[in-house]
Structure 1
Amino acid sequence: MMNRTLGKNGPAVSAVGLGCMGMSGAYGQSDEKESIATIERALETGHNFLDTADYYLVGHNEELISQAIKGKREKAFLSVKTGQLVAPGPNGAMGPGAVSGHPDYLRNAAFYSLRRLKTDYIDLYTQGRVDPNIPIEETVGALSELVQKGVVRYIGLSEASADSIRKAASVHPITALQIEYSLWTRDIEAEILPTIRELGIGLVAYAPLSRGFLSGEIRTPEDLKDSRIHMPRYQGDNFYKNLELVEKIKILAIEKSCTPSQLAIAWVLAQGEDIIAIPGTKRIKHLDENIAAETVHLTNEDLQSIEAMMPAGIVSGTRYPERFMNALNR
């Protein structure tokens, strides 16, 4: 198992964590028993970073995690996002809704998360999206109060711009920025990644497998029967153009004696010692595959080959529908 320090002065956590969103219906039906067993397996192997949010099926995900960590709270590092509401989308799908960074909202949200998780503290409490109507300094000020009260240990941001990150860090140390980062999503490399490195903030890379597409297991549009069908990268011509890129990854993975998923995660980890990856899964089989990515060593030659095949910006389509894109990096 590989541990990394989260931020310049943060805690040691597993380099590969577990994104738990899919356990609450985000990507089709899930089995609660299998989900709990998957979390337990992660903790047994020392992979302690468990990522959730109070808005994953309106608290269901936190309640699920509370069952899995019962009696072993000290083994888990709980990363909880808040402030992002959900709203009905096309064909009944749920998507990002209103955002709240209001101090009163955050205080109440933290209380309810503690109750659902059956714990008296949250390790990393993250503002899920930046509220354009509330100064980020006020939002972080409220989170800082929670740290002072001992109910939160570290503060994080998600999908924040470089400017917002700097403003936030002027109020209270920011331990981590959670943001999408993968072979297909590299826009943070221009400004955001240099900024957090300057400030000593760790990077928590979500969707390192681009919501499963980089695993090589998705072959046709019919394989997507969940919220991904509404995302431009997985629609129409974009789907087939991106599928061609996956074929290139599969060839290199064979050469490295690993799976495409492991190659994609290993690439993320190879971008810096200040990065951890949180691939999401609800099955033990995929968890074991993902954490084995820590053993995949990519040489400089490998990284150059990957860069030649998969340069920044090569993916077709945006990661969210247009109506949701304005909530990112603000």
Structure 2
Amino acid sequence: MKTVNLGSQGLTVSAEGLGAMGMSVWYGPRDEREAVATLNRAVDLGVTHIDTAEAYGPFENERLVGRALGARRDEITLATKFATEFDDDGTAHGPNGSPGYAHRAVDRSLKHLGTDVIDLYYLHRVDPDVPVEETVGAMAEMVRAGKVRYLGLSEATPDQIRRAHAVHPLTALQSEYSLFSRDVEQNDVLDTVRELGIGFVAFSPLGRGFLGGGITRREDLAPDDARRGLERFSEENIAENAALADRIAALAEAKGVTVTQLALAWLIARNVVPIPGTKRRAYLEENARAADIDLTADDLASIEEVAPHGSAAGHRH
């Protein structure tokens, strides 16, 4: 796995990361033994940018990552996030970007992850009631205290990104970005981070499972799968989106790669670091090979023709 510079603040990461969220919550049945094996196989393959958050469980996913990779801490780039206020028992109280909660959250994440430093710490969502400058100011104190190395935001607006970056240089912006979700190209988010030298990390880079996940109808989702609540997986939209995935898959077949590899290679070609989530080693190994795929100008033009901005039916949320 090749490595890339994420942003301009000195952080180097694997060209593709691994989102650990689905190993603990929201996307159907879980198998901790396979999850632990998948996390370790990722590191073996050089997929060393591991992404989690306190909200995933809450706390369950951070603990899982800590248990699985504690002995390999020096081999990975560890990213986590905070935003919603949680009591220690997991009770949620809504957004809280106050400096006091920020400091409480980072200390708890360090404990759950079993480490003394977080490589990349994100504000998961900006609290509408707390100026982003105050939250990022508290996060900057964490950097000075040695608890955090680099800072990021997730799903932020261009104005929020600029204001935060003025308080402390941001290393990364994490937002949804895929052939199914290209909003960041249209709302100035991508242009803003490029201008400021901030790296871009793409979550849900496989269209939340439409690309390579075998989803063609709602019955393909487990009863407790959170995607059942998203517009794109509604009865009205799911068939249309599965057809879009088929058209992208046809391009992949012509290229001699899988649809997931094509989708990830498309992001990597745009200097974006995708963090596909998977719970199984077989899918991880397939995804990891995307970093070795070179897309030609003709490939990119064909992809643009088949999946331009706005191709997916329904809002991404």
Indicate whether the TM-score tops 0.5. yes
How far apart are 1:9 and its partner, in Å? 2.4
Residue 273 of structure 2 corresponds to residue 276 of structure 1 = yes
Identity across aligned pairs (percent)?
A: 48
How far apart in 1 are the matches of 2:218 and 2:58? 28
Match of residue 132, structure 2, among 121, 130, 136: 136
Q: Please point out which of 172, 177, 187 is paired with 1:176.
A: 172
By how many angstroms is 1:84 displaced?
A: 3.0
Distance in 2 (alpha carbons) for counterparts of 1:123 and 1:133: 27
Equivalent residue number for residue 82 of structure 2? 82
Alpha-carbon distance change, 297 to 97 in structure 1, aligned in 2, over 3 angstroms: farther
C-alpha separation between the residues in 2 aligned to 1:170 and 1:294?
A: 33
Which amino acid is 2:161 matched to?
I
1:64 maps to amino acid: L
2:89 matched to which residue of 1?
Answer: none
1:209-248 maps to which residues of 2 (within 5 A)? 209-225=206-222, 226-248=225-247
Q: Which residue of 2 aligns with 1:37?
A: 37
Q: Give the Cα separation in 1 of the matches to 2:119 and 2:237.
A: 39
CA distance in 2, matches of 1:52, 1:154: 15
Greater Cα shift, 152-161 or 20-29: 20-29
Runs of 4+ in 1 over 4 A off after TM superposition: none
Alpha-carbon distance in structure 2 between the residues aligned to 1:222 and 1:270: 34
Aligned twin of 1:326: none
Checking the alignment, whether the CA contact within 8 Å between 2:18 and 2:42 is kept in structure 1 is yes
- What is the letter of the counterpart of residue 55 of structure 1? A
Give 1:237 deviation, angstroms: 2.1
Aligned counterparts, 1:286-301, within 5 A: 286-301=283-298
Partner-residue secondary structure (3-state), 2:208:
coil
Match of 2:158 in 1: 162
Counterpart pick for 1:100 among 85, 96, 100: 96
Residue of structure 2 equivalent to 1:115: 111
Task: Name the CA distance, whole Å, in 1 between partners of 2:82 and 2:24.
Answer: 16
SS in 2 for 1:237: coil
| Distance in 2 (alpha carbons) for counterparts of 1:220 and 1:255 | 25
Deviation of 1:97 (Å): 7.6
Kept in 2: contact 1:216–1:250 (CA 8 A): no
TM-score by length of 2: 0.95
3-state DSSP of counterpart to 2:151: strand
Q: Quote the Cα distance in structure 1 between the aligned partners of 2:166 and 2:7.
A: 16
Aligned CA distance change for structure 1 residues 148 and 159 (closer, same or farther; 3 Å): same
Could you tell me whether the CA contact under 8 Å between 2:99 and 2:134 is conserved in 1? yes
CA deviation profile, 1:132-160 (whole Å, cap 9, x unmatched): 10000000000000000000000000000
Give SS of 2:30's match. coil
Aligned with 2:146 (options 146, 150, 166):
150
Measured against aligned partners, the alpha-carbon deviations of 1:32-65 in whole angstroms (never above 9, x if no partner) come to 0110111111111121100000111011111111
Q: Distance in 2 between matches of 1:43 and 1:202?
A: 22
In structure 1, the partner of 2:6 is 6
TM-score of the superposed pair, with normalisation by structure 1: 0.91
Counterpart for residue 120 of structure 2: 124
Q: CA deviation at 1:70?
A: 2.2
Return the alpha-carbon distance in structure 2 between the equivalents of residues 48 and 314 of structure 1: 32
Question: Alignment RMSD, CA only?
Answer: 1.3
Residue 85 of structure 1: how far off its partner (Å): 5.4
8 Å contact kept, 2:45–2:288: no
Give 3-state SS (helix, strand or coil) of 2:175's partner: strand
Distance 1:28 1:170 in 2: 40
Q: For residue 77 of structure 2, what is the amino acid of its counterpart? A: F
Deviations 1:163-205, CA, capped at 9 Å, x for gaps: 0000001100000000000011111113011110111000000
* Preserved CA contact (<8 Å) 1:216 1:247: no
Counterpart CA distance in 2 for 1:247 and 1:115 is 44
Could you tell me how far apart the structure 2 residues matched to 1:123 and 1:223 are? Answer: 36
Distance 1:111 1:297 in 2: 42
- Cα distance in structure 2, aligned partners of 1:85 and 1:258: 43
1:48 aligns with 2:48: yes
Structure 1 unpaired stretches of 5+: 87-95, 321-330
Task: Kindly provide the amino acid, as one letter, of the partner of residue 114 in structure 1.
Answer: L
Q: Distance in 2 between matches of 1:218 and 1:180?
A: 19
Q: 1:220 is aligned with what amino acid?
A: R
- Paired residues of 1:55 and 1:85 also in contact (CA < 8 A): no
For the pair 1:253 / 2:249, whether they are aligned, the reply is no
Distance, in Å, in 2 between the alignment partners of 1:26 and 1:19 is 13
Give, as a single letter, the amino acid of the residue that structure 2 aligns with 1:247: D
CA apart distance, 1:313: 0.9
